[in-house]
Amino acid sequence: MADKLTVGIAQIAPVWLNREATLEKVGQYVHQAADAGCALVVFGEALVPGYPFWLEKTDGARFESEIQKQIHAYYLSQAVSIESGDLESISAIAAERNIAVYLGCIERPADRGGHSLYCTLVYIDAQGLFQTAHRKLMPTFEERLCWGTGDGAGLHVHELPPFTVGGLNCWENWMPLPRAAMYAQGEDLHVAVWPGAVRLTHDITRFIAREGRSFVISASGVMRRDAIPAAIPHAELIRQNSPEILADGGSCIAGPDGQWLVEPVENDETLIVAELDHARVREERQNFDPAGHYARPDVTQLYVNRERQGTATFDDGA
């Protein structure tokens, strides 16, 4: 059993734009995953407090729009401040239940002034310790209207025996160089988090698995129009312009040969549980290892800047 690891994907909907209620729901699913014997549970991108679906539904690019300012201000108020302890309830459950957690959240970091938002993938280990907060390097298309660009500080992997696990946000998984940065650190279990779209996870999950000769977990969320709360600013406008289904899931797991272990699960709120066998990684690395015997570092190398970026450096003297 030393080669085996049980993992879970919590494909759930947020209590949209409600940080505390969504975190309570996350905590319930961490408990469920622990009850199912999981050593790791993964949640979708931007789950806490939710993905900014309103942007393309409400003329989000209009400059000096009072509507956009009001919705954004509300979003900011519900974002996660790790320094303020917003995720302490989840870290406490992780420690209590001896389970690691990857959680997608919208972060409001103090080290960038506390009034800008970043799409952040947080890794909490099984001792409840915050290990990395990876801010999405490049928000996609309309996401740039409300999220800032991240940095490389979170491009780390973590030992989760018998695996080495790492994770990226959504379209970062399409970026070959960040993937290469994870491979170079020995990643053999890759976590890809998404807001929820089968069309996104169906092809790339298997491709990354085949390229990296690794297991790949794609974790997505789900979201329906009728889950838009009346209490948020301009809720009716958002509803009027939204389809019935805003996010249709697509959580899945591929093995290191690129074949499905769990095919994409559409629409359902559910806990997906699977057992991974590290021996399969070693078998597939026999003929291809992207950072090992099949690499040519004498010809091509990657430079990665993992410094946390900030606006100012202060020297207060001795």
Question: Residues 6 or more apart from 48 whose CB is under 8 A from it?
Answer: 14, 19, 22, 23, 26, 80, 103, 104, 105, 106
Is 69 among the catalytic positions? no
Whole-angstrom Cα distance, residue 51 to residue 107?
12
Contacts 24+ apart (CB under 8 A), 132-137: 132/156, 132/158, 133/82, 133/107, 133/109, 134/167, 134/168, 134/169, 135/107, 135/109, 136/169, 136/170, 136/172, 137/172, 137/175, 137/178
Query: With respect to CATH, is domain 4-284 assigned 3.30.2290.10?
Result: no
For residue 245, the cross-strand partners are 224
pLDDT at residue 25, as a whole number: 98
Catalytic residue (one of 25, 107, 119, 136): 136
Of 25, 38, 45, 252, the active-site residue reads 45
Question: Is there a catalytic annotation at residue 146?
Answer: no
pTM, to two decimals: 0.96
**Distance (Å, rounded) from C-alpha 145 to C-alpha 80?**
18
Catalytic residue flag (residue 45): yes
Active-site hit among 38, 105, 119, 170? 170
Could you state, in chain order, the average pLDDT of each consecutive group of 10 residues for the chain (318 residues)?
A: 93 98 98 98 98 96 96 98 97 98 98 96 98 98 97 98 98 98 98 96 97 98 97 96 97 98 97 98 97 96 95 87
Q: How confident is the model at residue 87, as a pLDDT?
A: 98
Instruction: Give the pLDDT confidence score for residue 1 in this predicted structure.
Output: 62
